[in-house]
Amino acid sequence: KIALQINCKLGGELWGSLIPIKHLMCIGIDVYHDPARKLPSVLGAVANVNGTMSKWYSYCKFQMPGQELVDVLKICLGELVNKYKKVNGCWPEKVILFRDGVGDGMVDTVIQHEAQQCEDYFRIMGIEPGFSFVIVQKRINRRFFEVEGGKFKNPKPGSVIDHTIMKRNFNDFILVSQHVTQGTVTPTHFLIVKNTTGFSMDIIQKISYKLTHQYYNWPGTVRVPAPCQYAHKLAYQVGEHSRVEPSPKLCDRLFFL
C-alpha cells in the first residue's frame, strides 16, 4: 500500500475505467471548514485530464471562514478546463461536475450561484460543452434492501433507485456503491440540478458508479465518485495542515493522498 501511495504521489496511474465517451471531463468539488471557524475555508477541486479517469489535476483556493458557497468557481473551472485542453489539444465536449457537501436547504442557492458561474464561464470562453451539475449527498436517512428467500439483505454494489420515492422537482437517484459485511449499507444521493449533456439518467448513473472505483487509496469502491473524494482529501490537507495553496508543480500529482 505504501508503494502504491508513493507511485500516486509521483504522478503514477494505478488503474483506470473504460468509459466509452470521448472528451468527457469529470470534476469533483468540496469545501473544508475550520472547526473553530477562525481560519479560512478551503475549496478543493480535482478533475480528470484523460479518458480512462486515471490522471488527475487539482486546484485549491481559500475563501472566507465558514463560507460553503463557492465564489471563485470561474477561476477554478478555468484552471481545470485549460489544463484539459493543454493535455488533450481540445476542449472537453462533456463536463460533469460533482459538488459534495451541500445540504437540502442550500440546493436552490447552489443552483443560482454555482451552477450559474459555470455556465457564465463557458459563455465567456465561447465554448459550448454539454454540462451537468450533480450534487452529491452522503448524509441521508434513506436505506433500501434486497429481498431474497423472504429475507432482507443489503443490495449488491451498483444498485440504484431513481423512481417512486425520489424528489418530484429534480432528476435524482440513490446509489449503493459499496459492499459491507456488517450492518446496513448507506447509499449516496445524487441530485442532477443541471443537465445539457444529452446523457440519460442511466448514463450518469453508470459514470457515477464507475468513478467510485477510481480512488487510489482504496482497492475497492468508495461512497462518492473519486474526484469528490480527492477534492475532500485535498481541501482537508490544505485546511488542516499546510494552510498554504500548493505549488503549481504539485497540481498534476495526487500529493495529498
Query: For the CA atoms of the chain, what is the radius of gyration?
Result: 18
- C-beta separation of 128 from 118 below 8 A: no
Nearest residue to 135 (alpha-carbon basis) of 92, 86, 182, 173: 173
Strands of the chain (E only): list them.
24-32, 41-48, 56-63, 94-100, 130-137, 146-148, 151-153, 159-161, 171-176, 188-195
Active site residues: 30, 68, 100, 232
Question: Diameter of the chain by CA atoms?
Answer: 58
Q: Establish how many alpha carbons lie within 13 A of residue 202's alpha carbon, considering only the half-sphere containing its beta carbon.
A: 0
The three three-digit cell numbers of residue 129, written as one number: 460543452
Q: In 3D, which of 49, 50, 52 has the Cα closest to residue 83?
A: 49
Residues facing 188 on adjacent strands: 175
